A and B are shown apart, each in its own frame.
Chain A
Amino acid sequence: MIHVENLTRFYGDFCAVDHLDLDISRGEVVGLLGPNGAGKTTTLRMLTGYLPPSDGDIRVNDFSIRDDLLEIKRLTGYLPESAPLYHNMLVYDYLTYIARIRGLDGDRQRNRIRELAALCGLTHIMHKSIETLSKGLKQRVGLAHAMMSDPEILVLDEPTSGLDPNQIIEIRDIIKEIGREKTVILSTHILSEAEASCDRIVIINNGRIIADDNTADLKGANRGSGLRLILRRAALPDAVDRLAALAGVESVLPENGVAGAGSGEVAELRLRLQSGGDTDIRPAVYAAIKDTDWVLVEMVRETRTLESIFRELTREN
């Protein structure tokens, strides 16, 4: 549905988005992830037609952003970061204005505003001035704004930034609700956010895509897994040697820093084991510990979190 090809954007000499290629099909919820200044907002602004690309093209259905800008704007609903709405207008007046610009009138306009008010929970604040609303409510009005024409594509720039946990869950539920039928592209630097609401995650850094996969695959991509141990009555060099000798264990790192390093027996020894490949090293580790008089207090397998993937990927660059 959306085909981004060779998308590039310069601000003066600075290259914010660097030859980006991306295909998004209908009904996908795509999370655009990246550290601050990675080019997320610039990419979204180009997708919504606010900024023209310096090079490359964006095609939505059969429309090109270069020739059919208005058509693409018609198909797209956009919520910029921190929802910069007209603060002096009433919520109802604002939504009516947007509905008119979006070409809705008469009954369709009234019904659509009523629907959105119910979906976004605005019914009790329709008569309030936007400047008096809390950040979460403003964000919900912004969502209603973006969804006014029931657009095929919904673009949300950091939809939950600055909200409290309850509000985040509310907004997330709304996004999920929409994501069932529509294509949603959202940017965020909160990883749990992307994990919770997106089918697919695209990580960008310095204007380039460094990972693009569906959420489950990205997390499950098996590049080895970690095991965290807490042992009592174990001496350091001995413990490390014994565990490192096991098949499948790539490295053993003591984690209690200076206190543990070289000082022999410590009250509680924390170790982090890294295994290569798919093998499950837990039985072997347990068997090795059983032969000694160490006490195993805790053994936790670490699944790769999005955080760790994100940090690995963005640090390399």
Chain B
Amino acid sequence: MQQVLHILNKEWKDYFLSPIAYLVIAVFLLVTGWLFFSTFFIYNQADMRNFFGMLPITFAFVVPAITMKQFSEELNTGSYELLMTLPVSFRDVILGKFLACVLFIAVTLAPTLVYALCIALMGELDWGVVAGGYLGALLLGGAYAAVGLLASSLTRNQIIAYIVGIAVCFLLTIVDKMLFFFPRHLLGLVNHLAAEAHFRNIAKGIVDSRDLLYFFSIMFIGLYATHLTMRERM
């Protein structure tokens, strides 16, 4: 567990050593801020439903940018060899990197709390729903981060890792809107695979164990598959 914390600490600081972190945060705030506030006053409701509504799509593009370097860069520069000859296990490395990504996603989301404060000044804001929204956003970010880490562990090219990450996250986001492509008897299953529906429930303030189970399953599958890739790489 100590080793997980050391790796988490290193990867976390690493984000802020390069401009990438600031760029990702800036772009995320710019895009969500504009999309949210451009319709906010027309919509004339003191809630953040529109903000959370577009998170799955924005996250599908932003989270893979956060995770893409984690393994690809190490594989490319060869530092992976140094890392793996230190007394750390695969589990320590994967969890350390994963938690660093989730922490970074949390920091990316943190400035949007200002939206909530502003809205609360203008009208009656239901804080329960907002809390649900942020919880859902973290779970969604975690699930996408697990997928992104898997993509990153597959290749030494960061761009490929990014695009593969986007493709899978985007598919998870919109799969329930493509149901007419699937045979009838698979519809129930495919519908459950969609991240957006599960996220929407939590963002409404309904924390259902089914939705929690969904997000934790995606995280587990993503991280376990990363573990398998690392083992295969030896």
Contact = CB atoms under 8 A, between A and B. Distances in A.
A73 B77 contact: no
Given A88-B17, A100-B6, A101-B3, 11 more contacts: A48-B85, A49-B84, A50-B234, A73-B85, A82-B78, A84-B79, A86-B14, A87-B77, A89-B14, A101-B88, A102-B87
Contact of B85 (A52, A78, A82): A78
A197 interface: no
A80 interface: yes
B189 interface: no
Contacts of A89: 14, 17
B45 interface: no
Interface of A: 45, 48-52, 70, 73-74, 76, 78, 80, 82, 84-89, 93, 97-98, 100-103, 145
Interface in B79-111: 79, 81-82, 84-89
A97 B82 contact: no
B6 A97 contact: yes
Contacts of B88: 73, 101
A26 to B, nearest CB: 21
Which bracket fits the contact residues of B?
Answer: 20 to 34
Contact of B10 (A48, A49, A73, A97): A97
Interface SS of A by simple majority: loop
B81 A101 contact: no
Contacts of A97: 6, 10
A86 B77 CA distance: 8
A153 to B, nearest CB: 12
Contacts of A145: 82
Given A88-B14, A101-B88, A78 B3 contact: no
Given A51-B234, A52-B234, A73 B86 contact: yes
Contacts of B13: 93
A105 to B, nearest CB: 10
Nearest to A73: B87
Contact of A85 (B3, B6, B82): B82
Contacts of A78: 82, 85
Q: With a 10 A CB-CB cut-off, give which of A74, A78, A82, A86 has the most chain B CB atoms.
A: A86
A80 B82 contact: yes
Contact of A76 (B9, B14, B85): B85
B18 interface: yes
